[in-house]
């Protein structure tokens, strides 16, 4: 009978109640323990403990019993402080908020600025009274919270329009605090404005902070944002400008302020509201202006600057497709507090969004390298605006001064070309990412698996350390090639033989027929002279072959313009992935395990990681932004040409270097292992192998990768597992579409191939 009792006792222990997630974190911190120490003791991963403390996951036996024992012991040492609020109120307070327990709904008296004894006084249009000392919540406040000052009072109240029922859990890892060291922006960079079921307009800020919004119109909302909300972010570079506050309007807020919830087809095509809309008239009467893009999904509302003072607010309207699902996933459908967290993390790690991820990527370049700065005082002690060294300057390059080989079709410099003329490689620089595949050999067909590996943030890695031109190009005939001189070179590389190449100081023999050419995006061997960017020509010389350019457009004013941009985006990506449980120093096996299902650990942070990657690609794409078809004719200038950052040569150099970096790794791998890729799509490479894992074909020795080859890891330039399919699957797909060179890298992730994918 005692055995039965023991079994029952074990069942009871395994279902023992655990303290709420925030209390678990408080107990650990109170004893001075780190997440890593707890994870090591319980023999689980760091991300597992982090999930228990954030409420994303719950422990399971046998770890649950040990974790409960730890928490029970800590609770005896560090009992929770007394709290006058109810248990339900205590659990509703986000752990990262330095604020009071929210009042019950019946206790709110927003109109008069009065508050219950357990709540902070709420500000209205006529009330700026500092809040009384709050009742200390059971959950730990953020350290270093800003001192109280006259401002719109904070409330930890959550909108009843939240689509997630139940108790509000503590703010998860990665949530930026509401304030910063700059008192001008103590409430963070942005706010999501919503209307609750009581008709109250609330602004959800970062860190769980919620403000009451007294504004009753869009002009009043802009004025409140600039005068009272204390939103914005400090500049990223000394001579730069502070980030303007961002206001995100939910569907309910659009209705409250007289805006349509969705745009009509005509408005979507135009990208804006019509000029006669009542809200635009309201702004005009209040002497607010809109940029040339008008009132669209990303509207900028401003008054002309007076001296150094700026008066500008950015609006974002998700229901107008401001947050494109291709890059922001489901962010536009998140409740206000969660959306504020997603955008707040992105803003704190990248920058406050200025538009699409592509627009923000381009704006980040300018924010880190402002075009002008203040000069040293002259004889009269006055300072003047001068060009900031290392920047692209404030003036765009005259379109007619661009090299004809670098510009896309339809550019003004090509206006004299015959209408239906097709430029060949000897006339047009064509540096693009790989789209190459080949039939499998008989030996590869006997293998079992096709394994895809993908380069992390490949284009960001290609930008790192790249020397680019900062000014206009100079035309040179029969130049000597200089690998340190950025530009475009007309040169014949058809003599480069991939069967015998130089790797370091030694020559190696390869099966050149199984390798793509590094000089064309299609992988086809060049047949004569063509235009190439500097990194491509430099790689031909690195492989051991002589290069003799026929002519070139080179830039003598140079700099590593993209270094700061790369570092900012790299750090943002690594910090976000670390919050998702994927650290930068993991062993190969641990890295693959950490990547498995990482998006499910915190779907909101997974959205941020995706947006960061889209910022890289989109920002580089904006360097050669094409015209919008409507109303434009070939040979006419388009709006993007008026930007200093319209630089197709920089985009070409980054893509060239990215493609060359990948080819260099492929050559190293082939020389060491005898394995060759069967397909490449941009930064994804597919190999045939007998095992389903990258570790089955990547040559690791004692945990160390092949020098100069592929290495598993989360850092930009390292690789992750993209997907695995069977060799039989690959052969069947190619046979089905009668395409022996179908690019399987396009479908390796999940194996899904549709007729639409192949233009059928």
**pLDDT, tens digit (0-9, with 9 covering 90-100), for 261-302:** 999 999 998 999 999 999 999 999 999 999 999 999 999 999
Domains, the chain, ranges and CATH? Answer: 2-77 (1.10.260.40), 154-353 (no CATH)
Q: Tell me what percent of the residues of the chain surpass a pLDDT of 70.
A: 84
- The rounded distance, in Å, linking the Cα atoms of 591 and 685 is 19
**CB neighbour list of residue 166: distance below 8 Å, 6 or more residues apart:** none
Indicate left, alpha or beta for 104 from its phi (over 0: left) and psi (-120 to 50: alpha): beta
| pLDDT for 364 | 98
**Stretch 645-651: mean pLDDT:** 98
pLDDT tens column, 520-556: 999 999 999 999 999 999 999 999 999 999 999 999 9
Report the range of poorest mean pLDDT among 24-28, 207-211, 258-262. 24-28
- 170 close to 142: Cβ distance less than 8 angstroms: no
Number of H helices, E strands in the chain: 22, 23
Provide the pLDDT for residue 646.
98
Q: What is the pLDDT of residues 737-752, one digit of tens each?
A: 899 889 999 999 999 8
Checking if the pLDDT of 133 tops 60, the result is: no
Of 68-82, 137-151, 660-674, the range with the lowest mean pLDDT is 137-151
Task: Give the mean model confidence (pLDDT) for residues 616-629.
Answer: 94
Quick one: average pLDDT of 641-646?
96
pLDDT at 473 exceeding the cut of 90: yes
pLDDT at 374: 85
pLDDT attached to residue 176: 78
Neighbours of 740 (CB within 10 A): 12
pLDDT at 107: 32
Query: Lowest mean pLDDT: which of 153-162, 278-287, 393-402?
Result: 153-162
User: What length does the chain have?
Assistant: 760
What pLDDT does residue 110 have?
29
What would the DSSP string read from start to end of 193-228? EEE-TTS-EEEEEGGG-EEE----SHHHHHHHHHHT
Query: Quick check: 116 pLDDT over 50?
Result: no
Give the per-residue pLDDT at 166.
31
CB 181 within 8 A of CB 162: no
pTM to 2 decimal places: 0.78
Q: Given this model, what pLDDT does residue 6 score?
A: 60
Residue 389: partners with Cβ closer than 8 Å, 6 or more residues away: none
Arithmetic mean of pLDDT, 170-183: 70
Beta bridge partners of 190: 246
At residue 662, the pLDDT reads: 98
Neighbouring-strand partners of residue 386: 373
Instruction: List, for residues 51-103, the tens digit of each pLDDT value.
Output: 788 876 888 878 888 888 898 888 887 787 654 333 333 333 333 333 333 33
Q: What is the pLDDT of residue 41?
A: 86
Closest CA to 136 of 125, 120, 152: 120
CB 231 within 8 A of CB 225: yes
Decide if pLDDT at 156 tops 50. no
Q: What's the mean per-residue pLDDT of the chain?
A: 85
Q: Which residue has the higher pLDDT, 409 or 309?
A: 409
Distance CA 144, CA 147 (A): 9
- If pLDDT is split at 50, 70 and 90, which confidence band does 173 have? low
Residue pair 712/588 in contact (Cβ under 8 Å)? The answer is yes
Write down the pLDDT at residue 61: 78
What DSSP line would sit under 245-274, residue for residue? PEEEE-HHHHHHTT--SS--HHHHHHTS--
- State CA 124 to chain mean position distance: 36
Residue 405: which of 419, 420, 425 has the closest Cα? 425
Higher per-residue confidence, 688 vs 754: 688
Mean pLDDT of 18-35: 84
Q: Assess whether pLDDT exceeds 70 at residue 347.
A: yes
Predicted confidence (pLDDT) at residue 131 exceeds the cutoff of 90: no
CA distance 286 to 85: 45
Token pair, residue 21, equals 């997630």
Average of per-residue pLDDT across 293-317: 90
Q: What is the pLDDT of residues 1-18, one digit of tens each?
A: 556 556 555 555 555 678
Range of lowest pLDDT (124-128, 506-510, 696-700, 718-722): 124-128
Q: Supply the angle between the helices 46-54 and 21-30 in degrees, to the nearest 10.
A: 120
pLDDT at 85: 36
pLDDT at 583: 95
C-alpha span between 309 and 315 (Å, rounded)? 19
pLDDT score at 111: 31
DSSP, res 447: S
């Amino acid at each position: 009978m005692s055995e039965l009792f023991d079994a029952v006792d074990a069942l009871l222990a395994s279902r023992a109640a655990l303290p709420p997630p925030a209390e678990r974190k408080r107990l650990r911190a109170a004893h001075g323990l780190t997440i890593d120490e707890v994870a090591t003791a319980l023999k689980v991963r760091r991300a597992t403990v982090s999930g228990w403390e954030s409420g994303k996951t719950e422990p399971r036996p046998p770890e649950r019993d040990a974790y409960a024992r730890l928490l029970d012991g800590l609770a005896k040492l560090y009992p929770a402080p007394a709290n006058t609020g109810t248990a339900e109120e205590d659990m509703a307070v986000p752990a990262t908020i330095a604020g009071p327990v929210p009042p019950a709904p019946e206790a709110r008296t927003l109109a008069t600025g009065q508050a219950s004894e357990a709540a902070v006084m709420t500000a209205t249009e006529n009330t700026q009274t500092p809040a009384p000392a709050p009742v200390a919540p059971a959950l730990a406040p953020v350290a270093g919270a800003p001192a109280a000052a006259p401002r719109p009072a904070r409330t930890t109240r959550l909108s009843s329009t939240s689509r997630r029922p139940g108790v509000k859990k503590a703010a998860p890892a990665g949530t930026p605090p509401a304030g910063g060291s700059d008192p001008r922006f103590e409430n963070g960079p942005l706010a999501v404005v919503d209307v609750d079921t009581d008709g109250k307009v609330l602004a959800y800020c970062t860190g769980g902070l919620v403000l009451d919004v007294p504004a009753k119109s869009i002009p009043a909302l802009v004025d409140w944002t600039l005068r009272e909300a204390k939103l914005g972010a400090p500049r990223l570079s000394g001579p730069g400008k502070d980030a303007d506050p961002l206001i995100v309007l939910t569907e309910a807020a659009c209705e409250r302020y007289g805006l349509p919830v969705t745009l009509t087809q005509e408005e979507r095509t135009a990208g804006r509201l019509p000029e006669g809309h009542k809200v635009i008239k309201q702004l005009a009467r209040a002497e607010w202006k809109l940029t040339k893009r008008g009132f669209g999904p990303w509207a900028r509302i401003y008054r002309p600057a007076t001296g150094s003072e700026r008066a500008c607010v950015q609006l974002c309207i998700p229901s107008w497709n401001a947050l494109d699902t291709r890059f922001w996933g489901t962010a536009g459908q998140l409740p206000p507090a969660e959306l504020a967290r997603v955008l707040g993390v992105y803003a704190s790690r990248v920058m406050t969004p200025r538009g699409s991820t592509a627009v923000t990527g381009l704006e980040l370049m300018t924010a880190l390298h402002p075009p002008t700065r203040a000069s040293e005082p002259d004889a009269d002690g006055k300072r003047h605006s001068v060009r900031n060294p290392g920047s692209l300057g404030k003036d765009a390059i005259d379109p007619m001064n661009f090299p004809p080989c670098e510009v896309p079709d339809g550019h003004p410099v090509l206006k004299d070309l015959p209408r239906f003329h097709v430029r060949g490689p000897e006339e047009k620089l064509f540096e693009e990412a790989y789209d190459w595949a080949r039939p499998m050999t008989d030996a590869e067909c006997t293998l079992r698996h096709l394994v895809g590996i993908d380069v992390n943030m490949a284009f960001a890695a290609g930008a790192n350390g790249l020397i680019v031109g900062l000014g206009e190009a100079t035309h040179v005939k029969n130049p000597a090639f200089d690998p340190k001189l950025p530009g475009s070179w007309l040169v014949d590389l058809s003599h480069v033989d991939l069967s015998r190449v130089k790797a370091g100081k030694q020559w190696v023999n390869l099966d050149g027929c199984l390798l793509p050419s590094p000089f064309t995006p299609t992988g086809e061997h060049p047949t004569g002279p063509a235009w190439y960017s500097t990194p491509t020509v430099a790689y031909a010389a690195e492989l051991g072959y002589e290069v003799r350019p026929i002519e070139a457009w080179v830039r003598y004013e140079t700099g590593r313009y993209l270094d700061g941009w790369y570092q900012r985006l790299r750090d943002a990506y690594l910090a976000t992935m670390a919050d998702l449980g994927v650290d930068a120093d993991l062993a190969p096996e641990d890295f693959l395990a950490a990547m498995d299902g990482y998006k499910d650990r915190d779907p909101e942070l997974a959205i941020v990681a995706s947006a960061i990657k889209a910022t890289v690609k989109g920002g580089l794409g904006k360097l050669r932004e094409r015209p919008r078809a409507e109303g434009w004719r070939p040979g006419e200038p388009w709006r993007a040409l008026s930007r200093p950052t319209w630089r197709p040569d920089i985009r070409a150099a980054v893509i060239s270097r990215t493609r060359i970096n990948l080819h260099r790794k492929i050559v190293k791998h082939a020389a060491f292992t005898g394995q060759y890729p069967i397909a490449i799509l941009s930064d994804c490479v597919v190999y045939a192998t007998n095992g389903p894992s990258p570790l089955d074909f990547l040559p690791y020795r004692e945990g160390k990768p092949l020098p100069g080859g592929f290495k598993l890891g989360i850092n930009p330039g390292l690789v992750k597992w993209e997907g695995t399919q069977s060799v039989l699957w690959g052969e069947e797909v190619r046979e089905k579409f009668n395409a022996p060179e179908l690019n399987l890298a396009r479908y390796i992730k999940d194996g899904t191939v549709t007729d639409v994918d192949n233009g059928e």
